[in-house]
Amino acid sequence: MRSGRNTRLRLGTGVVVGAAALVAGLVQPAAAAGQQEAVAAGKPTGVKTVSTGWTMPWGTDWLPGGKSALVTERDSFKVYKATPAGARTVVGTVPYTRTTDAEGGLMGVAVDPRYKTNKYVYFMHTSTDGTRIARMTYDGTSLTGYKTLVRGIKKAIVHNGGRLAFGPDEYLYAATGDATETSLSQDRKSLNGKILRLTRDGKPAPGNPFGTLVYSLGHRNPQGLAFDTKGRLWSAELGESSRDELNLIKPGRNYGWPICEGRCAKAGMTDPKKTWKVSVASPSGIAIVDNAVYMASLRGERLWRIPIDPKNESVGAATSHYRGTYGRLRTVTKVPGSDQLWLSTSNADAWGGRPAGSDRILRVTIG
């Protein structure tokens, strides 16, 4: 089963745009006839290295004020405080984390919107009993007070999802994989193959469509979550062998897996807004700047830019940047207060084939 870590594909530099991309079969058209193409002003104009010496940095989220971010390393289970100037300090590890010797370990991190008063941060990680969502206290120096919020998410060697993000409603959203048991994605009683929505204490958030933690279903291995200026939730998802997806997530919707991969055209299923051949994507993290989704790609080794229209649900032509320049790209995070992104690599894993310490965090300017 493909999970975004197979043989890497290197293409020449350049940008795949509009009709050329459609002819090549790299990107499927998203809008129906007559829909207006989305327009976004900014595009990547420059990239610089923030820091080096990382080994599989997986999750990133900023602390209030934007002077530092928390960054997780998947296999070391360490949490770092990293600054825009490139300094980094270990602030702790997340207890009970266990690797799956592939894609599990310490994954997503999210800083509470009320961090200034409660000092809460949240993590998603694999453990001996499956995948957990946990809460800890970070006082600016060290992590303490581990508390499990959610258990019962099955784990596997691959397909563990792992991304966390707070929404504008101040509820926590979590992306879970199917743990290689495809039937779980269509099972409303299972927490796998879902996007979950929960309170700070791990309870189902008010208004959830089924009265449980489940917010949407029919996902294979979603690893990207981001909210746009209208408060809409977007998610990137790794397909199996045909199509990777960018989805606009709505409560109670079924996104098709394993009945469909990519576009479905079946009653009760919601189609993705954009799809890619797996060889050019294998998406992980996403971020939104200036009405465009930026999607980090593992196997595709590039950063995709997809304009979205804030007035409707249409998306524009996807273009790619930095193809093959930095290797596998894992996480992309908006820098607070500026049109910039932090972009982390994922080359020091079994599929990147590079030694420990060879990953880095880059800063991309959107101009």
Give the H or E element holding residue 116.
helix 115-118
Mean pLDDT of 344-358: 96
The mean per-residue pLDDT over the stretch 279-286 comes to 98
Model confidence at 135: pLDDT above 50: yes
The pLDDT value given to residue 265: 86
pLDDT at 123 over 70: yes
Mean pLDDT of the region 293-322: 97
Mean pLDDT is lowest, of 21-35, 57-71, 175-189, 273-287, for 21-35
DSSP letter (8 states) at residue 134: E
Closest CA to 3 of 213, 192, 158, 191: 158
What mean pLDDT comes out for the span 54-83?
98
* pLDDT score recorded for residue 23: 28
Q: In this predicted structure, what is the pLDDT of residue 39? A: 55
Name the residue among 39, 115, 56, 161 with its Cα closest to residue 336: 115
- Mean pLDDT value across residues 347-357: 95
Strand, coil or helix: 282: coil
* Segment 96-104 mean pLDDT: 97
Burial of 45 (0-12, 13-18, 19+ CB in 10 A): exposed
Predicted confidence (pLDDT) at residue 68 exceeds the cutoff of 50: yes
- Least confident range from 4-13, 191-200, 236-245: namely 4-13
Tell me: the pLDDT tens digits for 28-65?
A: 333 333 334 455 678 999 999 999 999 999 999 999 99
Q: What is the mean pLDDT of residues 1-25?
A: 34
pLDDT over 60 at 350, yes or no: yes
pLDDT, position 4: 41
Residue 240 has a pLDDT of: 97
What is the overall mean pLDDT for the chain? Answer: 91
Section 223-229 average pLDDT = 97
Percent of the chain with pLDDT over 70: 89
Tell me: pLDDT of 206 over 60: yes
Mean pLDDT of 68-78: 98
Q: Band the pLDDT of 207: cuts 50, 70, 90.
A: very high
The DSSP code sequence of 3-35 is -S-SS-----S----HHHHHHHTSB---SPTTP
Question: Would you state the pLDDT for residue 160?
Answer: 98
> Rounded mean pLDDT of 9-38?
34
Confidence class for position 26, pLDDT limits 50, 70, 90: very low
Q: Kindly report the pTM of this predicted structure.
A: 0.90
pLDDT at site 2:
42
pLDDT, mean of residues 360-365: 98
Position 355 pLDDT exceeds 80: yes
- Lateral strand order in the sheet of 233-237: 222-227, 233-237, 243-249, 274-277
**DSSP 3-state assignment of 185?**
helix
Instruction: Read off the pLDDT band of 17 (50, 70, 90).
Output: very low
pLDDT grade, residue 312 (50/70/90)? very high
Two structure tokens written together for 348:
């020091």
Collect all residues with Cβ–Cβ distance below 8 Å to 267 and sequence separation of at least 6. Answer: none
